[in-house]
Amino acid sequence: MTPLDYEFLRKLLKERSGLDLSSDKQYLVESRLIPLARRGGLQGITELVQKIRSGAEALTSEVVEAMTTNETFFFRDKIPFDHLRQTVLPELVQARASRRSLRIWCAASSTGQEPYSIAMCIKEFAGLAGWRIEIVATDLSQEVLEKSRSGIYSQFEVQRGLPIQSLVKYFTQTGELWQLNADIRAMVQHRQLNLLQDFSHLGAFDLIFCRNVLIYFDQDTKLGVFDRLAKVLEPDGVLALGAAESVVGISDTFKPYPERRGLYRPNPARTARSGIAAMTPALRAAAAAAAS
């Protein structure tokens, strides 16, 4: 792979997925794209780049998918799911008692272990019997969404993070594979989505899991994602980020949830300022006059 090939791929991946590769990640690109090139009958990455430059859109999508498929496993990092059971769900059940419904978004959901972990927590939470629960799982990659829809996992995948009692309770074994039971699979809707684009069409959510994806974005891209997340999260909703992620020092759209690391709430002060900024000059003047 020539330096020009690498720069072309860096720019392409940044534009299409937000993935911000440093200058020393050639080995990562080669390890993921050389097998893709060979499957397509191409000699190597230089030929792959030439084909992309000629307008091969399907190949471009395959390249983006190959570079953005990230690791996941059931109940990853454990603490966010403890927070979900012990703090987030009890508070949301109380706050939504009149409407008896919850909407949860799992962004960058990969092969489904995270949204299904959330679904299992919901299933076991006593206060939600009879409620309408909607879990939306999104990812840039259609391939991983298809695997997630199937709910079929290898022995290795179910051994990573999944308690044995949950395996027995929620999965059916078929040969060397395990499939999630239909009732858990039915709790999760799947949609292809690029976090770099507008996602207001998804509607409003009470809880958003957006974990272990923002670490691959640069600061400006993170800021844009945070601003868009704030617009689809209810004012008293909760945002869960990954262990290595934070809004602190990047955006004031959210504030840390007290004593619950990795959880954030919308910042009312920022919301109020955004509302004022969106007003026409006449409306701002009227609001200022009313306040005085």
Q: Is 76 a catalytic residue?
A: no
Here the tokens at position 172 are 């059916």
Q: How far apart are the first and last CA of the chain?
A: 65
Of 5, 76, 139, 185, the active-site residue reads 139
Report residue 271 CA to chain centroid gap: 23
Of 16, 20, 32, 191, the active-site residue reads 32
Q: Is 211 a catalytic residue?
A: no
Residue 212 contacts by C-beta under 8 Å, 6 or more apart in sequence? 70, 72, 76, 108, 242, 244, 245
Here the tokens at position 17 are 């997925």
Q: Is 104 helix (H, G, I), strand (E, B) or coil?
A: strand
Q: Is 112 helix (H, G, I), strand (E, B) or coil?
A: coil
Instruction: Return the closest-CA partner of residue 40 out of 28, 16, 58, 13.
Output: 58
What is the number of alpha carbons within 13 Å of residue 197 lying toward its C-beta? 11
Contact indicator for 244, 47 with CB cutoff of 8 Å: no
Contact indicator for 55, 238 with CB cutoff of 8 Å: no
**Catalytic residues, which ones?**
32, 139
